[in-house]
A and B are shown apart, each in its own frame.
Chain A
Amino acid sequence: MNDQTPTASSPAPAEASVPFSVADANWERVSPRLTTARRIVVALCVVPVIAAAVVVWLGGWIQGYSGGWCALVVGTAVAVYSWLHWMFGRRTRSWGYLERSDELFVVRGFLFRRLSVVPYGRMQMVDVKAGPVDRALGINTVQLHTAAATSDAGIPGLPPEVATSLRDRLAALGEQRQVGL
């Protein structure tokens, strides 16, 4: 490791380091219902595929064809679903957010881990949104927008009252500290 210090010493950063994993800090977590919601969406895609394969196989069986490839389709669909089923559980547990004095921290992902930090003064808009499955399960997504398209800090799986109050807090902080581009 090259230990050259950069040209200027930083003018008093708030923290020496940012937390990166859910173990590092006292993160706010998202609702486990997020897992259910994601699993339902995938199931809605997988079940028709399995059903169609079974129908084709039954039809072939009655007429005396062998339908080995149908078993392959069903097997693949089940395998993909099982993997996603497990992954959504892990992924939900990897989400966390943290409201610090100057910035919002959002951490997520377990295969590909990401941390997004958005200073309140850079927020241009905060949305709350929910799709039909999310609405049925009572979870919302809070989406932050900055002038950069890549900031990418949304928090899914929040109960509606948590989502609305978070949005209001963030919007108020954003307005108060708005610094333009």
Chain B
Amino acid sequence: MSVPSAPGLLEVGRRYRLHPATPLIHAAPVLPITGLVLFLSPALSFVQGLWLTIATAVVMAVGLTMIVGGLAYWSWTRFEFWLDEVGDLRVDSGILTRNLKKLQLSRLQSVQVVQPFIARIFGFATVTIEVAGIGDSRAALAYVKRDRAYAIRDQVIAISSGGTFVSYGATSSATDPTDAPSEHTLCKVPPGRLLGSLVLRSSTMALLILTVALIVFSYLRGGWQELFLVPITGGLPILIVVGEFIALFSFLVARSPNGVRVTYGMLQTQTQNVPPGRVHAIEFVQSFLWRKPGWVRVKMTVAGSASQQGDSNFGAVLLPVAPWPEAVALVRQLMPGIDESLGNLRGVGDSVRWRAPLQKGYLGVGLGESYFTARRGWITRRIVVVPHARVQSVRVGQGPWSRSLGLANVWVDVVPGPIEAVAPYRSQSEAQELAARELGLSVAARRIDRSTRWQSGQRAPDSDGDSDSEV
């Protein structure tokens, strides 16, 4: 039985196991936690004396750890993965209920390498692979050696994007894969700027102002009843800021042979690969106080990632904060042709004054050669960019208030994600014309689009009855 410890490719047909240290990593955290809980809880109050209590706690914790370790070992012996002859990944797992999975890599949605805190200390990582499909269409290989994890990821991406079984080898020798020479760093977020952006965010500011107002109010009133709210209004923003700071710490975006690679995290390092063809929408978000330093956050909608929001809330963040030119330069890597002028957006008519006076001057829409671009927002400003080739459908909508002013909104629908692409408050005739133009552009664009198989050089399935569709 092979032990996948050396970096290298998976051989077709050969069955692999997870690293033999896997049961230990699963069981290790149980020992100190249960020991501490048993020692502190009243469960052992029947035992007399401190030393006896400690000894009992240790014995029970060791016992529990061995049980967990035994189960983990058992499930380790029942876990196998391999590449089959047609280039799909097979994963067999389960102790009592066997679960035999076949992940069709040509329908790959995402591959992620995650290093949870404990695994990271010992140089292990988890590879999470998700393919398009209904139900349980993902597999997590936990744990393998970090180098092995990066090799598997590269291989899986290469197979899925129509390339050959080549390792990009960027990660084989370097201790930190992001420093490997073949990866070209595109953006780095300095800790100071990250912290500044989180503090200056509208939600943080609103809560801090509320806190100050509460203190002032209760001081003026002479009563202190309101102060019980202060830990909540003051503590919550601190918790959010610190939590997000730790999660997004040392954010680094690099170009890799597999698209754009995002790495971040202080305690748990996340690595996410963003294949260019899978990005269905980009959004630049600017909080009110970010206007002065000119910062924006870049979010993205990646096909298939909506279902994995559970294990990473920041999977939609392409860049937590950067000056506008830097953010645009990064987005240009994924959506060639985007520039800072956004191709002259068209503003809105005068009657919008009666519907949205504060954002009237900011609203805009543009239908460029390759992208739908829309700008909106009053306190928080947003710019959405959607490639015409990724538009799933188009909607026009109008409520009573807008109708009385002859206005309508135009939406372009994209796959589920954090981004809503809408051009609000166009004149009705313009909205109808925009929708028609967008439909024409999207039909034309996806005929020539081949970005989902960007490594193979072959034509994408076109609309003439080619059955090689991906979803």
Contact = CB atoms under 8 A, between A and B. Distances in A.
A23 interface: no
B263 to A, nearest CB: 26
B463 A181 contact: no
A112 B460 CA distance: 39
A147 B415 contact: yes
Contact of A148 (B416, B428, B446): B416
Contacts of B13: none
Interface in A104-152: 111-119, 121-122, 124, 146-152
B48 interface: no
A6 B368 contact: yes
B470 A11 contact: no
Nearest to B278: A181
Among B343, B348, B415, which residue has the most Cβ atoms of chain A within 10 A? B415
Given A18-B436, A151-B392, A181-B303, A119 B442 contact: yes
Contacts of B413: 146, 148, 150-152
Interface string B338-361: 000001101111100000000000
B255 interface: no
A179 B445 CA distance: 11
B441 A11 contact: yes
B446 A179 contact: yes
Contact of A6 (B366, B392, B396, B460): B366
A119 B431 CA distance: 18
A19 interface: yes
B441 A13 contact: yes
Contact of B395 (A116, A124, A177): A116
B396 A122 contact: no
A2 interface: yes
Interface stretch (B36-44, B81-89, B171-179, B398-406): B398-406
B471 interface: yes
Tell me what chain B mostly uses at the interface: helix, strand, loop, or mixed. mixed
Contacts of B436: 13-18
B347 A148 contact: no
A12 interface: yes
Nearest to A113: B398
Contact of A11 (B399, B414, B444, B465): B444
Given A4-B344, A176-B465, A111 B400 contact: yes
A181 B278 CA distance: 9
B291 interface: no
Nearest to B408: A20
A115 B409 CA distance: 10
A153 B393 contact: yes
A19 B432 contact: yes
A179 B463 contact: yes
A17 B432 contact: yes
B439 A13 contact: yes
Interface residues of B, number: 60
A117 B432 contact: no
A112 B400 contact: yes
A41 B303 CA distance: 38
A19 B433 CA distance: 9
Interface residues of A, number: 45
B429 interface: yes
A7 interface: yes
Contact of B396 (A111, A115, A118, A148): A115
Given A6-B344, A7-B343, A117 B395 contact: yes
Contacts of B431: 20
B145 interface: no
A96 to B, nearest CB: 14
A112 B398 contact: yes
B393 A181 contact: no
B463 A177 contact: yes
A83 to B, nearest CB: 15
Contact of A14 (B367, B369, B439): B439
B7 interface: no
A1 B408 CA distance: 15
Contacts of B416: 148-149
B440 A10 contact: yes
Interface in B422-458: 427-433, 435-437, 439-444, 446-447, 452
Contact of B452 (A113, A146, A180): A180
A102 interface: yes
B340 to A, nearest CB: 14
Contacts of A102: 439, 443
A159 B439 CA distance: 30
B471 A147 contact: yes
A118 B393 contact: yes
A178 interface: yes
A44 interface: no
A62 interface: no
Given A112-B399, A115-B435, A150 B411 contact: yes
Nearest to A176: B465
A10 B443 CA distance: 11
Interface in A1-41: 1-2, 4, 6-8, 10-20
Contacts of B420: 150
Contact of B280 (A124, A146, A181): A181
B169 interface: no
11 contacts: A8-B368, A13-B436, A102-B439, A115-B435, A118-B393, A147-B392, A150-B395, A151-B395, A177-B463, A181-B303, A181-B415
Interface of B: 278, 280, 303, 343-344, 346-350, 366-369, 390, 392-400, 403, 408, 411, 413-416, 420, 427-433, 435-437, 439-444, 446-447, 452, 460-463, 465, 467, 469-471
Q: Which 7 A-B pairs have the closest CB atoms?
A: A13-B440, A8-B369, A148-B413, A148-B392, A180-B470, A7-B343, A151-B393
